[in-house]
């Protein structure tokens, strides 16, 4: 399996620009299944997580309101917080290191792209932050970071509505850790090389309609149209990003383009 070599701060937080995250994602895919880099197609995220990264996927309720979409377990523990809807109370679950917990609400709305982006996000934490979270307990100065060897990701961390993206600034270590995971998810779901190839193919067809481009890309890579729009902006196709969105979304995409840490 591909092992990324990472520069890290003294406290263990990786130091990466977006281009490095993209390059690591393509190296992972090249090792996992080179075909996904040759032809635009959706990556089998469950297979990538379970059979390539050797993670265990489990599905449960992680909160009472669907706030937490995923948890990655870096140390064996009996204290993973979950929610029992029938009993209407919180409880704890035993989980081994390498367990990815997905909230059941991700499955209930029948939007496969939410499951795929959640898996991609938690995979990002695993490949980049595994050592950091596994040994966070021994670092007394990491008061804001979970010392239990578990990371829980909220809906805003994974899906991050455009209005949240526009306001978000990468200041704290947690901001950067979530940014790494989120950007890795986009880079795995929509790899740079096949994504650019797909854009080139679609924009050179005789009947090309730029307002349809995000929707077409979303079908090819099995992501949401808004994710495809953001990826267009990240990879230098800002002229096509948000073309099928309303004026509010277009304004938020403009904010996103100016956000530190984006391409």
CA distance to 106, 109, 196, 225, 253, per residue, from 259 (Å) = 28, 30, 22, 20, 10
Reported as half-sphere exposure (CB side, CA atoms, 13 A), residue 226 has a value of 17
> 4-42, pLDDT tens digit by residue?
999 999 888 999 999 999 999 999 999 999 999 999 999
Q: By three-state DSSP, how is residue 202 classified?
A: helix
Structure tokens at 10: 């003294």
18 and 261 Cβ atoms separated by less than 8 Å: yes
- What proportion of the chain, given as a percentage, has pLDDT over 70? 81
46 contact partners, CB below 8 Å, separation of at least 6: 57, 119
Question: How far is the C-alpha of 184 from the C-alpha of 221, rounded, in Å?
Answer: 15
Q: What is the pTM for the complete model shown?
A: 0.84
| Residue 136 binned pLDDT confidence (cut-offs 50, 70, 90) | low
């Amino acid at each position: 399996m591909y092992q990324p070599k990472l520069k890290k701060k003294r406290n263990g937080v990786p130091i990466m620009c977006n281009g490095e995250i993209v390059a690591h994602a393509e190296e992972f895919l090249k090792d996992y299944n080179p075909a996904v880099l040759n032809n635009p197609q959706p990556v089998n995220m469950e297979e990538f997580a379970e059979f390539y990264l050797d993670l265990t996927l489990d599905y449960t309720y992680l909160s009472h309101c669907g706030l937490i979409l995923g948890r990655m377990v870096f140390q064996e523990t009996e204290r993973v917080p979950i929610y029992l809807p029938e009993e209407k109370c919180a409880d704890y679950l035993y989980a081994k290191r390498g367990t990815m917990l997905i909230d059941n609400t991700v499955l209930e709305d029948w939007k496969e792209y939410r499951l795929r982006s959640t898996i991609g996000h938690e995979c990002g934490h695993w490949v980049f932050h595994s050592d950091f979270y596994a040994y966070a307990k021994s670092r007394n100065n990491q008061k804001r970071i979970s010392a239990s060897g578990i990371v829980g990701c909220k809906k805003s961390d994974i899906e991050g509505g455009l209005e949240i993206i526009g306001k978000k600034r990468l200041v704290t270590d947690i901001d950067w850790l979530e940014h790494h995971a989120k950007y890795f998810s986009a880079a795995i779901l929509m790899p740079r090389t096949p994504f650019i190839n797909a854009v080139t193919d679609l924009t050179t067809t005789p009947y090309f309609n730029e307002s349809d481009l995000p929707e077409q890309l979303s079908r090819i890579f099995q992501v949401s149209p808004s994710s495809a729009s953001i990826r267009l902006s990240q990879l230098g196709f800002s002229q096509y990003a948000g073309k099928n969105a309303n004026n509010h979304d277009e304004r938020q995409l403009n904010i996103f383009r100016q956000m530190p840490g984006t391409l």
